[in-house]
Amino acid sequence: MESIRQRKIADQIKKLVSLIVDQKIKDPNKGFITVTHVKMSGDLRIASIYFSVLGDKEQAQKSLQVLNRAKNFIRSEMAPHLKLRFIPELRFFIDDTLEYANHIEQLLAKIKKQENEK
């Protein structure tokens, strides 16, 4: 279960990473990245950052590579804004919940169509 402190720090990191990625990373392969969720480990040393990208899976992989290359830069940019003893390690993950929800929606529509045909 997530503590209040974990949630507050996760929200702060989400905002900071969003700003840094949007304004300071100039890589053309970045794409349109949206940070969707941040999870903090219990000891606040690891931040798992989930993001979505406008485009296909290939673009998402390119964006993941860009973020992984820029990890240390993002950490150094976040450091002055976080009041923590240790700046957390950043781990980036592609958030596929929207894709999964669309898949479920298509399956439900298919079932409804089949029921209407009967």
CATH class of residue range 4-117: alpha beta
d(CA 42, CA 62): 30
Residuewise pLDDT in 10s, the chain (118 residues):
788 999 999 999 999 999 999 999 998 889 899 999 999 999 999 999 999 998 888 999 999 999 999 999 999 999 999 988 899 999 999 988 877 888 899 999 999 888 888 7
Domain ranges for the chain, please list them: 4-117
pTM of the model: 0.83
Amino acid letter for position 95 = D
d(CA 102, CA 93): 19
